[in-house]
Chains A and B, each alone.
Chain A
Amino acid sequence: MESILRWYTPHSAVRKYIKILAEIVHLLTGTSSVQDAREEQIAHMMADYGTAIKRICLMYLKDPGLAEEAAQDTFVKAYYKINTLHDEHAERAWLSAIAVNTCKDYLRRSWIKRRGKDVSLEQLYIEPSSCREDRQLVEAIASLDKEHKAMILMRYYQGLRVSEIAEQLHCSQSSVYRRLEKAEQLLRDYMEE
């Protein structure tokens, strides 16, 4: 009889429809009674993490205008997804993952793809007064592909633990370790050139 118990729920297609309909209804009806509390929470997050998130977006998109839009969109998404944040100590990791995914979405846009991959230091608007080592490292990180860049930014810039990155990016810790190792190797290669 176990085989019977496996599929006792309504048909998955029906459930999917119900979910989509509920989301559309939510979209059309707009606000709720917890709106104020959510806004307050987002305001705190922007104050605490806004700048770091914007810099992650800049490292990813290499365009200050786009980075500004992406950083704003990160907090808009956070506002609508706030109920998925179950551990308030994981805010930094949670926001970083949203920012990384927002930037990936931006990079999928056709006109950004056409813009080209090689971005010079000037386009990154790196502070001219920065020391040479810092400039080299930032340039090296900016040159990484998006997966490895995400690892470096989340682990070393945001200071997240491997377990936090794995949880937010929905992958195993060993996978994070492997990608980090590879990313560090790529950075070393870039710096030695």
Chain B
Amino acid sequence: MDKETRFRYQAIDRCLSYCVFTAHDARRVFQKIHAPFPLCSKRRIALVLALLSLLLAAAASALGILWRQGLEQTASLYQQYGSEENWSLPEYEKALRIFSDIGIDLSDLPDTGSMDEALACQTLETYLLSKIPGETDSLHERLREYNGFFSTWSLEEKAWYSEICEKYGLPYIGGMICALPGDGEMTVDQATALAVQKLESHDALSPSSLEPYQMTVSYFAYENAPDTKYWQFSWIDPASERAEVAYRVTFLADGSDVEDGYYRAKTEEEMVEYAEHWNQREIQYLDIDNPDVDWTPEYLKKYNAAGRQYGSRLNWPMDVKADLYGDDMPSADMLTPDDALNAAQAYITACCLPVSDLYPNVRYREEYGYMIWFYPDAYGNENFIYFTTVNAVTGECEGISER
């Protein structure tokens, strides 16, 4: 811009020379900055808080709606294409979109562009399963548990899901067709009061005994007897990861008792006492790799405590396994358990045997080195598929035993 033009337009400064930004203006700016609600701060804050709660409610509601839509869409996929084993890439693309729409972060989606279709499908299945923690291998079931364990769902959510099962031909959970109570039937409040009364009477509980627990309710009929409706109330330990039931009462829709309608979780002492009556064979089935363990009540108590703390025995830390099984601890200059597992998996794969879907149990004893069992289930309750030992110094794998 030339000087002449610049000078010409400085006419604004010449004509409006009285208009200057004063110290008063500057003070007002800082007053406004420090008092963002100068008119009526309490009312503004109340408005913001009201908006905040409205947004939170809307967000929760939106997520709930999205999750329901996603779950119904996967049910539709299962109806059309069967379970994941039968899916091809378009079905996995749909599943990815469903997960994304629900709000599950897929930013680390692996690039499967260079893979053949079978490998791409397998990669995507593994990836999607990794996105929602759980123990089932079904994407639909994982997605279902995205909303928490089914037993903890609301009455309305359970009824809705039973309708989805019926509509898309999915199996009912536990063979139970959940519904909402109809007109003329006991209301939820009435049924809750009755359930508490029954439980307090049956187990001699004080009213405060149930307070630490989360109450869940179901109204259902069994698939094979759809005309007989039941109420079932469970009190769940909120600290347990697997929604473990502390108390449960089940009764008919008219309020009358049913056989075996009451359940109470065993205490630690009761568990030990109970275990004493088991025969050795039954106990050994709990931990099939350890036939030599002396299953005393004390030992069982320690064993159960480890299970509660670390979950599946396959995942227990090496020092816990060493303590319970009489194993040794590998020294610092030896292979780590992870390295040993990688070596075993590589060896089995090199033998053209499938290993990726199996659950390993890694242990160490001086005389054998690393001992690694591979199970078809996450708890190692079924017979192992392979057993191998790995030299803890060289990493050499010393053969595979197949069951």
Contacts and interface: CB of A to CB of B under 8 A. Distances in A.
Interface of A: 1-5, 7-11, 13-14, 17, 20-21, 24, 27-28, 30, 39, 42-43, 46, 50-51, 53-55, 58-59, 64, 67-68, 71-73, 75-76, 79, 124-127, 130-131, 133-135, 137-138, 141, 152-153, 155-157, 159
B25 interface: yes
B357 interface: no
Interface in B53-71: 55-56, 58-59, 62-63, 66
B201 interface: no
Nearest to B9: A156
Contacts of A13: 62, 66
Nearest to A80: B33
Contact of B66 (A11, A75, A131, A134): A11
Interface in B3-37: 5-6, 8-21, 25-26, 28-30, 32-33, 36
B62 A17 contact: yes
A11 B65 CA distance: 13
A141 B113 contact: no
A134 B13 CA distance: 10
Contact of B32 (A30, A64, A72): A72
B109 A8 contact: yes
B6 A50 contact: no
Contact of A127 (B15, B20, B96): B15
Contacts of B113: 1-2
B101 interface: yes
7 contacts: A10-B103, A11-B101, A30-B36, A54-B25, A55-B12, A124-B15, A156-B1
Contacts of A14: 59, 62-63, 103
A139 B21 CA distance: 22
B280 interface: no
A50 to B, nearest CB: 3
Interface of A is mostly: helix
Interface in B103-155: 103-107, 109, 111-113, 120
Interface in B81-96: 89, 93, 96
B26 A21 contact: no
A9 B99 CA distance: 10
Contact of A21 (B17, B52, B97): B52
Given A1-B112, A125-B19, 13 more contacts: A4-B93, A4-B96, A4-B109, A7-B97, A7-B106, A9-B107, A14-B103, A39-B30, A42-B33, A71-B21, A72-B29, A126-B16, A130-B11
A17 B26 CA distance: 35
Interface residues of B, number: 53
A24 B21 contact: no
B93 A55 contact: no
Nearest to A14: B103
A192 B97 CA distance: 63
Interface of B: 1, 5-6, 8-21, 25-26, 28-30, 32-33, 36, 45, 48, 51-52, 55-56, 58-59, 62-63, 66, 89, 93, 96-97, 100-107, 109, 111-113, 120
A159 B59 contact: no
A141 B25 contact: no
A93 to B, nearest CB: 14
Contact of B25 (A50, A124, A127, A138): A50
A138 B52 CA distance: 46
Contact of B12 (A76, A138, A155): A138
Q: Which of B5, B8, B15, B55 has the most CB of A within 10 A?
A: B15
A130 B15 contact: yes
B21 A133 contact: no
A55 B17 CA distance: 9
B32 to A, nearest CB: 5
A156 B105 CA distance: 49
B32 A137 contact: no
B151 to A, nearest CB: 27
A137 B8 contact: yes
A5 B109 contact: yes
Contacts of B28: 72
A73 B18 CA distance: 20
Nearest to A140: B11
Q: What 9 pairs between A and B have smallest CB-CB spacing?
A: A50-B21, A134-B11, A156-B9, A8-B106, A17-B59, A14-B103, A1-B113, A130-B15, A126-B15
Contact of B5 (A64, A67, A68, A156): A156
A72 B103 contact: no
B148 to A, nearest CB: 19
A55 B13 contact: yes
Given A55-B19, A130-B14, A73 B32 contact: yes
Contacts of B48: 24, 27-28
A137 B9 contact: yes
Given A4-B96, A157-B12, A51 B32 contact: no
Nearest to A137: B11
Contacts of A159: 1, 6
